[in-house]
Structure 1
Amino acid sequence: MFAVIFKANVSKLDDQYSAMAAELRKLAFEKYNCRDFIAVTEGAKEVAISYWDSEADILAWKQDALHRVAQQTGAERWYLNYQVEVLELKRSYSAG
């Protein structure tokens, strides 16, 4: 399993952002085998963590036409800057 961590400094999030985020989240689950997707914005910081079965799914998601539009719009309007990290999950455990 793989995790993608998206970290950004927010410029301005608007109604178009909210609609795009909801649509992309749905697409990630339905078309690209995303297993979980958690996002939070606090002040000017946004962090999103998503979980995937394979790097191929992540790369296909990155290249999706709608996702590319969101990336461009994000760079131009929504974010001052961002960072993406792709990690292979080595261990996972929980309690309760």
Structure 2
Amino acid sequence: MSFAQTPSPPYYAVIFTSRRTEKDAKGYNRTADLMVELASKQSGFLGVESSRDQDGFGITVSYWDSLESIKQWKNNLSHQKAQVKGKKDWYSAYITRICKVDHDYHSL
């Protein structure tokens, strides 16, 4: 996965930090890929970056143009079904944080 190509700030980031269980890894990977595909078609989606270590600790950051776009994604029915499955089977713990990006700098 490469760096998300975000516009000049301001924009928003949803930071999803999680610890995976060992349950249903195949189903998880398929669903995660589908969620990225669906999110990329959602109005206001700017990009995503994700990483997970061998112990199951992961961070996914999705970027959005507005809080309203984030709300629409949270209310997406397919996303809601994946959230239910994640809470039930795939995550032993998670935290979602939403923040506004006022500044960024880079060397790409």
Shorter-chain TM-score tier: over 0.9
The separation in 2 between residues aligned to 1:92 and 1:77, in whole angstroms, is: 36
SS at match of 1:95: coil
What residue in structure 2 maps to residue 78 of structure 1? 90
Question: How far apart are 1:15 and its partner, in Å?
Answer: 1.0
Map 1:1-96 → 2, pairs under 5 A: 1-12=11-22, 14-42=25-53, 43-96=55-108
The separation in 1 between residues aligned to 2:13 and 2:103, in whole angstroms, is: 12
TM-score normalised by the chain length of structure 2: 0.83
CA RMSD of aligned residues (A): 1.1
Number of paired residues? Answer: 96
Q: 1:54 is matched by which residue type in structure 2?
A: S
Which runs of no fewer than 5 residues in structure 1 stay unpaired? Answer: none
The structure carrying a bigger helix percent of its residues is 1
Which runs of no fewer than 5 residues in structure 2 stay unpaired? Answer: 1-10
* Percent of aligned pairs sharing the same letter: 25
Task: State whether residues 32 and 58 of structure 1, in contact with CA within 8 Å, keep that contact through their aligned partners in structure 2.
Answer: no
- Greater shift after overlay, 31-40 or 59-68? 31-40
TM-score normalised by the chain length of structure 1: 0.93
